[in-house]
Chain A
Amino acid sequence: MANIENERPRAADTDIMGNAMSMLVRIAQAIALPVAAVLVALICGGILLSLNGFNGWDVFSVMIVGVLQDTRSIAEILLKSIPLILIGVGLCVAFRCSIWNIGAEGQLYAGAVAATIVGVAFEGLTPWIYVPLVMVAGALAGAAWAGIAGLLKVYFRASEIVTTIMLNYIALIGTSYLVTGPLRDAASAYPQSARLLKEAWMPRILPPTRLHIGILVAVALAIAFYVFLFRSSAGYAVRVVGINANAARYAGINVGRNIMIAICISGGMAGLAGAFEVAGVTRRLYQNISPGYGFEGIAVALLANNNPIGAIFSGGLFAILRSGSELMQITAQVPQVLVSVIQGMVILSVVAFGVYRFRSASRSQ
């Protein structure tokens, strides 16, 4: 009894300096693992390059210098990071709710299709209305596409891992059908849609580069979803459902509704990414509009430890790797296969460190 009485909570004593320090320590801890993961992957990649007769150091320095050499190349990286950040942020929300949405790729296509349909339809609309309209159309379509998997999970307990993967195929093949059939531009020899109306194009923010307002939207949404997850009641409910559904029910949280919220947010973000691709980059819909952003977005979220702010940086990093790998092929003549292996190593390393973090967290329980 006596020692219980003597035990006094120490929290009240901590001062502002202490809080700031502990905040810094927490941030450092959060960053340490992802940085280590990337370093390990790059070292392994360097060894692999050396084994194949390349100078790993040279290749990487060419790559880094190359991708960051001027405004144009930096703008290209930022452009590539837009879909990665958006998808990564959305998946942070889904993963926090323990929803393993593997279907961001399909949701991106759904968003791209909807943005195209809207983007070719309304002539004479002012960009002030048209641009947001295209974004909303993309986001809604992506959310709806993910929502199918959500409903199947809530009402039939169908694993979203399986259903979202299946929905990917439907979306990809559906897009192929649309651009070869109903949406095909009759004037073109290629299977692609008509060009979106000029008023629906995403305004560029750094001419003459292709960088458009999507990067601002992506960063703003990342911050917004950080606040949502960690500062709002609704986000709290999503997280509790993800950790302990029984406790959520006990707390009066509607588990099914929160599953729908989380999966639709992730789908909506992927759909928005699709809208930005057609209305900001390609300006037409065609078959392979995404080079796998939806899958890479999973690694973006994992590397960020499902923290939306972190996803801004991990999304940027994956964009650098993507541009860098193109440079590796073109400038350093590294074969494509080898580039893919190095990219794979980064993802593998990220996942391995993620598992390590997860295991050490559950050990401390």
Chain B
Amino acid sequence: MNTQPFLRMDDIHKRFGDLVASGGVTLEVEENEIHSLLGENGAGKSVLMNILCGVLSPNEGQIIYRGEPLRLGSPREAIRHGIGMVHQHFMLVPNLTVAENYVLGQGMPARVISNMRDVYARIRELSERYGLDVRPDALIQDLSVGEQQRVEILKVLFHGIDLLILDEPTAVLTPQETDRLLVLLRDLVKDGKTVIFISHKLDEVMTVSDRVSVMRDAKVVFTTRAADTNPRELARMMVGRDVLMELPRTNRTPGRTVFSVDGLSCDNEIGLPAVRNVSLEVREGEIVGIAGVSGNGQSELALAMTGLLPVTSGTISLNGEEISRLPPGEVNRRPIGHIPEDRHKMGIVLPLALTENVLLQRYNRPPFAKHGLLKFGTIAEHTRDLIRRFRVKASGEFDLIQNLSGGNQQKLVVARELARDPDFLLINQLTRGIDIGAMELVMQEVLKQREAGRAILLISTELEELFAICDRILVMFHGELVGELPPDRGRIEEMGLLMAGDRQEAARLAAART
């Protein structure tokens, strides 16, 4: 019986249409440990955990829990088995009190209401035991994000959970709140609970875990004791990918500075500092990469550079002109191209035709518009041209873009941005979610732009992509640029250390080379 783990998820498959979210995942968790699940965005962590807590059901595979097969139809069943999850987006009703949220959906309202006193007492007791500082009569809407998260954790404990799953709990927390949460998790384990901690932040994972599993491309690729690994190895496992073919690249000396950022800082959507004092410059005929584990301020940096997120301090200049205070519409009129991180959220308009997506930033000016009217002839011709040049698989230029596969959508976005003939091209994740063939095509097209003397900034979480085409690579950690390296695969360990924020160790390694 000793060999039987506390929890075993065996060969779990989950597909959403063509998208494989779990491609045969096997994960084992021991009782009474903190097991971290590490991986990039989209690696399949959240889907796997939603399967475990009964929100989603797998297409194939089984879950063995305490030695018995577990079949879950709903989160409530999972709670009955002692499995509870704190979701990334809180599941609380803002205009109810803490206690009211806890009894919600538990059935037997009459009994519950008459026993509210017991509910209050139990909340107070749990809150005191773990130092959570949760008041049962507080309204959710009056609480800060950190407090709401403690309410969520206490809710799970309130339901008598043994296996607690936290989905990126630190994404919304300040550093101090994060420290407090990590201490709490250790206390829970001391009390006999088991915790699965989802994160993509290496330092937290190293601090808090007993064991770590790394997910990549919808699979668990690596499991180890935290004591036996280091951030460097974890970073490599997270971003690792089959080596791409060598792409031919000429040596060329970069020309004048086209784009530069000086002392740039900005906040994220919830008002926390995301980018701190970033300075960089990109010259003609140069591809500069920004590496980093996602969530370290790259998204905000990209948005700020294109006028989509307000800058708190610093300057951005393009061809010598200061553009950091221009509205996005004005930035668009400059020779600047932007391939956004998430094409569905920003890069394309799904229910519109290819033609109307190609039109996006130039809908109101020649050659696509004249006297306020759209010139569909020109637009269709241009779209056909892009379809041909980038081998976009579509039934025609009037096909809706939602009928295309992700890779073909991305090809159209890349095609559109390159066709705008920009002096400066900002790329945030060039090859995310596209197949190898399409990947090479878009990378070659970007290299052609370099030959043509464009200045290119490539933000990516894929080290291979950066190594394949960049001239130099900057590393971003916690909103700051922490180092610069040449695209030399021999220095991947240094890169990993910088990505994990360990500057000293990286410097030691660099010193040892010389």
Contacts and interface: CB of A to CB of B under 8 A. Distances in A.
A240 B372 contact: no
A274 to B, nearest CB: 28
Contacts of B361: 250-252
A41 B98 CA distance: 47
A231 B373 contact: yes
Contacts of B398: 11
Nearest to A365: B402
B393 A233 contact: no
A14 interface: yes
B388 A9 contact: yes
Size class of the A contact interface (CB-based, 8 Å): 20 to 34
Contacts of B441: 4
Contact of A361 (B340, B348, B349, B351): B351
B332 interface: yes
Interface in B389-405: 391-398, 402-403
B360 A233 contact: no
Interface stretch (A241-249, A338-346, A348-356): A241-249
Contact of A244 (B350, B364, B387): B350
Interface stretch (B323-331, B450-458, B473-481): B323-331
Contacts of B349: 240, 243-244, 247
A243 B352 contact: yes
Interface string B265-276: 000000000000
Interface in A217-269: 227, 231-234, 236-237, 239-240, 243-244, 246-247, 249-254
Contacts of A227: 373
B132 interface: no
A250 B331 contact: no
B350 A251 contact: no
Contacts of B346: 244, 246-247, 249-250
Nearest to B435: A4
B360 A9 contact: no
A10 interface: yes
Main SS at interface, chain B: mixed
Given A236-B359, A250-B347, A365-B402, A9 B394 contact: yes
B437 interface: yes
Contacts of A15: none
A166 B3 CA distance: 67
Contacts of B347: 247, 250
A313 B347 CA distance: 36
B374 interface: yes
Contacts of A233: 363-364, 369, 372-374
B383 to A, nearest CB: 9
Size class of the B contact interface (CB-based, 8 Å): 35 or more
Contacts of B8: none
Given A11-B384, A247-B360, A231 B374 contact: yes
A7 B329 contact: no
A251 B384 contact: no
A12 interface: yes
Contacts of B152: none
A253 B329 contact: yes
Nearest to A9: B387
B360 A251 contact: yes
Contacts of B402: 364-365
A365 B395 CA distance: 16
A144 to B, nearest CB: 24
B345 interface: yes
A290 B437 CA distance: 62
B360 A243 contact: no
Give the one of A7, A11, A234, A249 with max B CB within 10 A: A11
B338 A250 contact: yes
B359 to A, nearest CB: 7
B100 interface: no
Contacts of A5: 391
A159 to B, nearest CB: 16
Contacts of B485: none
B308 interface: yes
A244 B403 CA distance: 17
A233 B367 CA distance: 12
Contacts of B391: 4-5, 7
Closest 4 A/B residue pairs (Cβ): A11-B396, A252-B329, A252-B332, A233-B364
Given A9-B395, A254-B329, 15 more contacts: A5-B391, A9-B388, A9-B397, A231-B374, A231-B376, A233-B369, A239-B352, A240-B349, A244-B346, A247-B345, A247-B347, A247-B360, A252-B331, A252-B332, A254-B327
Interface of B: 306, 308, 327-333, 338, 340, 345-352, 356, 359-361, 363-364, 369, 372-374, 376, 384, 387-388, 391-398, 402-403, 437-438, 441
Interface of A: 1, 4-5, 7, 9-12, 14, 227, 231-234, 236-237, 239-240, 243-244, 246-247, 249-254, 361, 364-365
